[in-house]
């Protein structure tokens, strides 16, 4: 089986998939936490690997940036490769002051300004929510602490657009961070009968000029990856 964007054979992907945005992060995950990882696809430089984690099958595939890209890869994984659960492990910009650099956000829901979901059901604004079992497992894996946050994020199509009033309003409604993929992943999972979650590392902040370097972004998301992988294993066992 070959799709327009994935060249893997049937059975090459595990039912559980970690999905970073950056292909280099996908390779890092394969090299650091997946045992006996083997390359199963590399179309357009988007590498996918499958191996095991704590004795259970686990795959990793990058999504690229934005809702259109994550929707393509998630659809093909769910629809053609038998994947049942996808956890996005990416970066996000913190919104309230209580969310700091390197903190982890378990995104239970994703607001969005994208029109993509409005095309799914005419006249309906979909609720983009994570799968409860995965979210509960991630919270359990993360444990309590000031650097773990659980709640909604904002998924946007715009990376550089300056909208300070918007972020003030989002913060007033309990939104923890801004990113570019979660809402698309959540909508796709529901449409394809799968399960999804986003576990995000805060790499910058919309309120003040501080951000992780590219090198720090590569290495400082390891805690979120471990939380996501543990959540997938827990949900699989249960």
N- to C-terminal Cα distance for the chain?
30
CA count, 13 A, side-chain hemisphere, 147: 11
222 in catalytic set: no
Which of these is catalytic: 22, 113, 122, 204?
Answer: 204
Q: Find all residues with CB under 8 Å of 14, minimum gap 6, and list them.
A: 50, 56, 57, 58, 59, 83
Q: Find all residues with CB under 8 Å of 169, minimum gap 6, and list them.
A: none
Q: Transcribe 41-72 into DSSP letters.
A: E-GGG--EEEEEETTEEEEEE---SSHHHHHH
185 by Cβ neighbours in 10 Å (0-12 / 13-18 / 19+) ranks as buried
* Residues annotated catalytic, as ranges: 204
């Amino acid at each position: 089986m070959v799709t327009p964007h994935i060249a893997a054979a049937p059975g090459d992907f595990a039912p559980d998939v970690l999905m970073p945005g950056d292909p280099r992060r996908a390779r890092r995950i394969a090299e650091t936490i997946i045992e006996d990882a083997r390359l199963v696809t590399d179309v357009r430089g988007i590498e996918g690997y499958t191996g095991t984690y704590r004795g259970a099958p686990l795959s990793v595939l990058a999504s690229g940036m934005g809702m259109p890209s994550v929707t393509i890869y998630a659809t093909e994984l769910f629809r053609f490769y038998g994947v049942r659960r996808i956890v996005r492990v990416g970066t996000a910009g913190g919104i309230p002051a209580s969310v700091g650099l390197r903190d982890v956000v378990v995104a239970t829901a994703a607001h969005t300004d994208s029109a993509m979901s409005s095309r799914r059901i005419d006249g309906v604004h979909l609720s983009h929510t994570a799968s409860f079992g995965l979210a509960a497992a991630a919270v359990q894996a993360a444990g309590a602490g000031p650097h773990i946050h659980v709640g909604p994020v904002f998924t946007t199509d715009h990376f550089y657009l300056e909208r300070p009033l918007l972020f003030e309003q989002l913060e007033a409604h309990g939104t923890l961070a801004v990113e570019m993929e979660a809402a698309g992943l959540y909508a796709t999972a529901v449409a394809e009968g799968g399960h999804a979650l986003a576990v995000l590392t805060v790499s910058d902040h919309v309120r003040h000029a501080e951000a992780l370097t590219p090198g720090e972004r590569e290495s400082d998301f390891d805690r979120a990856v471990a939380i996501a992988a543990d959540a997938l294993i827990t949900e699989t066992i249960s």
